[in-house]
Chain A
């Protein structure tokens, strides 16, 4: 979940799917992992090239210094001059130079030869040489480090423009020490005689190195994209799709559609989850279907929620008037369709008013209401049943109507029946009274026993006619009853 702010300032959440999250995590891991490898490769390549170049040039500088020392000691300065003249132009990418500690190019004039001749007292070294190497000016900082005690070799890598082309040059400046064996000719009052510079053009190797890094980078990006695509597809097939299907199934079950199943046969955790959800859907469907035939109280009793006990209940009996003659003149299919329609309409209304259809007895509905305002909900259900039945069969060849009886009082509810067949139902005087009132009610009439009516007599949504004394079968005394009607009709 990523939180961000809308323009209104209220927090807004952006939800990433599990597939996106996993893909992001995997891609981040790939980028970091592969990136580290590529970066390490690139850095290693550069470091190795630099170290090789540096080491090689330092070794070449050592060779040059050794050459100079061995040329000079026997007094072969002209050979050294010729040597430097030759190797300084030997290769377009490699050059050498020798500088006095003042920064002047060695052999550029006769200054050193004159000084040496003076020190040894003999004109040993010729002046005015024909061949003199020409060296480019040195780097001042490198010369400074090479001629200051303690002298240090310097490696400089720099970009230059030669013949109109950008080139990468590595220069090594190595100090030339005034060794004791040099003192005889050059004097002992200085430690550094000069600096040798070895230069090489590494443009080609740098380009090859850059190409290698670029190719590695391209391979890296391609590999990340490829592996990311493979993983995304794998995640979609193994996680995202089944989870989405499970979510879709749960949504359908919530909407009352139990027909769907998740088709995922894997033995992994998602597969176990899919099978569990499928089994759960089957169980829910069975319970849902069972609810059509068994009262909610029975289901609750089966679950162990309720035991047998005495309690206050409101009983509603509803019976279709003239259904016997209706059924005798119609084919069975029409009879069942019409009966089911009437019963279904009444059951829905009872459920709407939080009542429980206890049972259907032929064309009769037995409903039980409990809890706060049970009498009010029973009366509301009765009024709606009359209205809906009337509307539901409007225009029919033989419209149906119902008579309803409502009674309230203490009943015993519990599992009633044998050990092989039992119902969770209610028994007691209010049950019998409601049944008798139902039988006595005319089509479209609701008779409410006084004990039930006293709880709702003052409610404005109802109107009552009565009280009337009504003799009921099985009752010694007349029972006080009211005829229920819509509001503001009290007589």
Chain B
């Protein structure tokens, strides 16, 4: 069994969750091309998309605590369409919208100052050829600030559930198009 050299208490499960799974995703699904001209500096000061405590397991992110941030472009759009969002009408975020989802090691609340293990990023760019559902899907490494574009449909396939009934949160009662965002 592998023991984590940094924090032996956490053990191999954490090592797999924090290191191997992101590594597999980055090396397997991610293309070798790094995202260019993507400025995520200060994303932590962006608004959170939900106040729901995302401390429950979900497919894709499994048993990892999440925090979701959206830049001003997206939040302005959401605020302008607040009524539609609540009523379940269709939404389609404008180009330039960026969503950053911090993925932490476990389901417990992160301790103050704890760095996320990975960043799952969505960038809206409808006309780009390498997008799925109008979004470019990326994975970022908070340690070195690098981002890699995901080449497979693994992310988009799962997030497509936000566009039909039975999503998380309000369960999309209106069956509206939520533009691949659950929250």
Contacts and interface: CB of A to CB of B under 8 A. Distances in A.
Contacts of A184: 166
Interface string A47-90: 00000000000000000000000000100000000000000000
Given A73-B166, A180-B182, A189-B63, A151 B58 contact: no
A471 B5 CA distance: 138
Main secondary structure of the interface of A (DSSP, over half): loop
Contact of B165 (A149, A181, A182, A187): A181
Contacts of B21: 149
Given A150-B29, A152-B28, A191 B62 contact: yes
Interface string A158-193: 000000000000000000011111111001111100
B176 interface: no
Contacts of B161: 179-181
Contacts of A44: none
Given A150-B25, A184-B166, A177 B57 contact: no
B150 to A, nearest CB: 8
B59 A191 contact: yes
Contact of B166 (A152, A181, A189, A191): A181
Given A177-B158, A179-B161, A184-B166, A149 B25 contact: yes
B167 interface: yes
A351 interface: no
Main secondary structure of the interface of B (DSSP, over half): loop
Interface in A369-411: none
A189 B57 contact: yes
A124 to B, nearest CB: 16
B24 A177 contact: no
Contacts of B168: 180
A151 B59 contact: no
Contacts of A187: 57
A149 B57 contact: no
A183 B171 CA distance: 12
B111 to A, nearest CB: 23
B29 A183 contact: no
Contacts of A188: 56-59, 62
A182 B164 CA distance: 12
A183 B152 contact: no
B88 to A, nearest CB: 16
Contacts of A151: 154
A148 interface: yes
A189 B107 CA distance: 11
Interface in B41-76: 56-60, 62-63
B81 interface: no
A189 B63 CA distance: 6
B157 A177 contact: yes
Given A179-B158, A180-B162, A181-B166, A190 B152 contact: no
Contacts of B182: 180
Contacts of B167: 180-181
B24 A180 contact: no
Contacts of A180: 58-59, 158, 161-162, 166-168, 182
B28 A150 contact: yes
A150 B24 contact: yes
A150 B158 CA distance: 12
Interface string B168-179: 100000000000
Nearest to A182: B59
Contact of A150 (B57, B62, B152): B152
Contacts of B25: 149-150
B78 to A, nearest CB: 20
Contact of A177 (B56, B59, B63, B165): B59
Residue among A148, A149, A180, A190 having the largest count of chain B Cβ atoms under 10 Å: A180
Contacts of B165: 181
Nearest to A145: B28
Contacts of B56: 188
A307 B60 CA distance: 112
Nearest to B155: A150
Interface in B72-90: none
A189 B17 CA distance: 13
A179 B59 contact: yes
A150 B63 contact: no
B28 A191 contact: no
Nearest to B151: A150
A164 to B, nearest CB: 41
Contacts of A191: 59-60, 62, 158
Interface of B: 21, 24-25, 28-29, 56-60, 62-63, 152, 154, 157-158, 161-162, 164-168, 182
Closest 3 CB pairs of A and B: A180-B161, A189-B57, A181-B166
5 contacts: A150-B25, A150-B29, A152-B28, A180-B182, A188-B59
Given A73-B166, A180-B59, A180-B166, 4 more contacts: A150-B24, A179-B59, A180-B162, A181-B161
